Amino acid sequence: MEKNTRPTLRPDEPIIDWEERYAKSLGFQAYVWGFPWIYLSFLRWLWTTPGGKKLVDRTGSKVSAPINFFFNARQSATPENATGGSPNPNLLYSVAWLDLGPEPIVLHVPEVADRYYCMQMVCLDSDNFAYVGSYSTGTAAGDYLIAGPGWAGKVPDGVQDVLPRSRTPAVLIFGRTKVKAGDTADLDLAHAIQDQYGLTPLSAWPVFPPTNPPPPLQKDPHEFLNPTETSEGAWIEMNRAMAENPPGVPPGIAQAELLRLFATIGVGPDQSWSDQSEATKKGLAAAAHEGLKFLPEMAQGRGKLVRNWTFPPNYIGRSGQNSDFITRAAVQALAGIAAHDACQAVYVNTALDCNGARLVPQTKYTISFGKNDFPAFDPTYHGYWSLTLYQVPGYNLVNGATNYTVSSVDPVKDDGGMVIYLQNESPLPLPKGEYWLQTPLPTPPNTPKNKEITGLYLLLRVYVPGPDVWYTQTWLPPEIVPQD
C-alpha cells in the first residue's frame, strides 16, 4: 500500500486555492492577449454612442460620430487644443467606426495629388488589414469596397474590390491628410479634401450621401463597464467584444489553441464571467489589476535601440498577426490605438540624450543633421519626415509653446544640414536651417505631483520611409547632445 505523500498543513497555514492562482497566472496572459478588444470597444462606445458622447463632452475629447460616418478634425494639433497621446501637428485626422455585419461599406476618396494622405483600416484587434492612400492605391479618386470576414457577394461596377477582407465586423478607419502646420491657406485645401471623403452602405451606392440613409447604428447600447473602475468589467467587455468579433477568423492567423486554453478560465467568445467560481473570479480580478499596471510600463518602448532612439518592430501595425501580443496590446492599442504598417510610416522615438540620460526641461540640447544624415523617404508618394517635441507625463505638446515641430519641408542650411535647439528661452533670430523646439519651464517647487513636468519626449515620424528606416533599421538617428 502506497504512503500518502501529500504534505500536511499546519493548523495556522492558509489554504491557497489553486483555481485562484491558476486564473491569476493564465488571466494575466489572457489580459495582454485580449486587451485590444477591451480598449477599442471602449473607444467605439465613447465615440459613437449617446452615452459615450456625454463622456466625450466632459473630457474635452473631440471625436464623436455615428457608426458608418466620418468625424473630420478641422484643426491640426496645437498646445491649446491637443489632449495628449503624442498628437501630430502636421496632419488632419478623419475617424470612422464601421459595422460590416449587415453589409459592406463603400469608401469614396477624391483625387489627392498634392500631398500625403491615407485611410488606415484596423480590425478590432488593433491590427491593420488594408490601406487606401498615396502610397497604397495612388492619387486618383476611387470607390473601394470594405467587407467583413467571408463576404462574397456581388460587387457593382465602379466599386473596386481590391482590399483584403477585414477579420472583424467592427472596423476603425484612421484617415490622415497632410497639412502645413500654421498655414491657413493650406488648411482650407485640406478641408476641401476631407469634405469629399465618404462612406456609403453597399445597398445605397452609388448615391452619396444616401438619399434615404439608414439610421445611425448604435452598437453596445449598454453603459460600458470601465475596466479601470471595475475589474470584472475587463472580462465582461472582452467576452462581449469577442462574441461579436471572434479572434482567429480567416484570413487572420489561427487562434484555436489559445481560445481553448483561455476558455478554461472563462475568457473568450461565448464565455461567461458570472459562471466562473469565486476563486477564478478573484484570480481574474487580480490579473486585470496587474495587467492594467503592466501595459503602460511596457508601452515605454519595445524594439531596436539605435543611438538611444527606439525603432518599433518592423512588423508594427500587424503585431498580433505576427504573434507578438504584448506589442499589440501595449504599443499599438494602449499607446496609439493602432499603429501604421512600417512601410507606410515609422515613428522613431526617444526620451534619452546621447549619454542615456533622461531628457529633462532644465537642460538645453542640440540636434544636428549633416547633409546626408536625414531619414530617407520617397517623395514620389509625398513622403516626408517631421520631428515633434512633447512633455512627459501626458505626451502632449509643450504647454504654451510656439515652436514644437520641424519637418522636411523646412529649409536647410547652405551646406545641406540642419541644427535644432531644444531649450525654453528663445534663441531667435536664427539663420536659415537652424530651428528651435521650445521646452517647458522647469516645474516650480511644491508643484502637485500630478502637474509636474518630469521629462521630454521626441517623436521622429517618417512617412513612406526608405528601407533603411523601416525594414533593415540601419539608418542612424541624430544624437541629442546636452549643452553645458
Q: Say if residue 192 is in the same domain as residue 227.
A: no
Helix (H) or strand (E) holding 43: helix 18-48
Identify the DSSP state of 209. S
**Number of folded domains that form the chain:** 3
pLDDT at 264 over 70: yes
The candidate with the shortest Cα–Cα distance to 226, out of 60, 98, 46, is 46
Helix (H) or strand (E) holding 162: none
pLDDT at 210 over 60: no
- CA distance linking residue 212 with residue 278, whole number of Å: 51
Alpha-carbon torsion (382, 387, 393, 396), positive or negative? negative
pLDDT bin (cut points 50, 70, 90) of residue 14 is low
- pLDDT tens by residue, 328-364: 999 999 988 999 999 999 999 999 999 999 999 999 9
Q: Say if residue 195 is in the same domain as residue 263.
A: no
Boundary-marking domain end, from 257, 278, 298: 298
Average pLDDT, the chain: 90
Q: Name the pTM for this structure.
A: 0.91
Boundary-marking domain end, from 154, 172, 204: 204
What is the biggest distance separating any 2 CA atoms in the chain, rounded to whole angstroms? 93
CA 308 to the chain's CA centroid: 22
Going from the C-alpha of 452 to that of each of 237, 267, 446, 479, the distances in angstroms are 34, 39, 9, 26
Examine residue 4 and state whether it is found in any structural domain, yes or no: no
Boundary-marking domain end, from 176, 204, 232: 204
Q: Say if residue 193 is in the same domain as residue 236.
A: no
Examine residue 7 and state whether it is found in any structural domain, yes or no: no
Kindly report the CATH number assigned to the domain that includes residue 424.
Answer: 2.60.120.600
All three cell numbers of 334, joined, read: 494602449
pLDDT at 141 over 60: yes
Q: Which residues are within 8 A (CB) of 384 and not within 5 positions of it... i.e. 6 or more apart? A: 90, 116, 178, 377, 407, 408, 409, 462, 463
Q: Say if residue 109 is in the same domain as residue 164.
A: yes
Examine residue 253 and state whether it is found in any structural domain, yes or no: yes
In this prediction, residue 32 carries a pLDDT of: 96
- Phi, psi angles (nearest 5°) of residue 437: -110, 120
- pLDDT tens by residue, 265-275: 999 999 999 99
Q: Say if residue 42 is in the same domain as residue 182.
A: no
In this prediction, residue 359 carries a pLDDT of: 97
Q: Say if residue 294 is in the same domain as residue 316.
A: no
Q: Say if residue 309 is in the same domain as residue 451.
A: yes
Q: Say if residue 22 is in the same domain as residue 93.
A: no
**3-class DSSP state for residue 31?**
helix
Examine residue 472 and state whether it is found in any structural domain, yes or no: yes
CA-based Rg of the chain, rounded to a whole angstrom? 24
The candidate with the shortest Cα–Cα distance to 20, out of 253, 265, 244, 216, is 265
pLDDT bin (cut points 50, 70, 90) of residue 224 is low
Examine residue 60 and state whether it is found in any structural domain, yes or no: no
The parent domain of residue 163 ranges over 67-204
Q: Say if residue 163 is in the same domain as residue 250.
A: no
Q: Residue 401 in contact with residue 438, Cβ under 8 Å? A: yes
- pLDDT tens by residue, 82-116: 767 788 999 999 999 999 999 999 999 999 999 99
Examine residue 123 and state whether it is found in any structural domain, yes or no: yes
Q: Which residues are within 8 A (CB) of 144 and not within 5 positions of it... i.e. 6 or more apart? A: 106, 107, 108, 109, 132, 137, 159, 160, 162, 163
pLDDT at 465 over 80: yes
Examine residue 316 and state whether it is found in any structural domain, yes or no: yes
Examine residue 227 and state whether it is found in any structural domain, yes or no: yes
Q: Say if residue 347 is in the same domain as residue 388.
A: yes
More confident residue, 203 or 208: 203
In this prediction, residue 2 carries a pLDDT of: 47
Q: Say if residue 145 is in the same domain as residue 194.
A: yes
Q: Say if residue 195 is in the same domain as residue 235.
A: no
Ranking 216-230, 323-337, 375-389, 470-484 by mean pLDDT, the lowest is 216-230
Kindly report the CATH number assigned to the domain that includes residue 131.
Answer: 2.60.40.1610
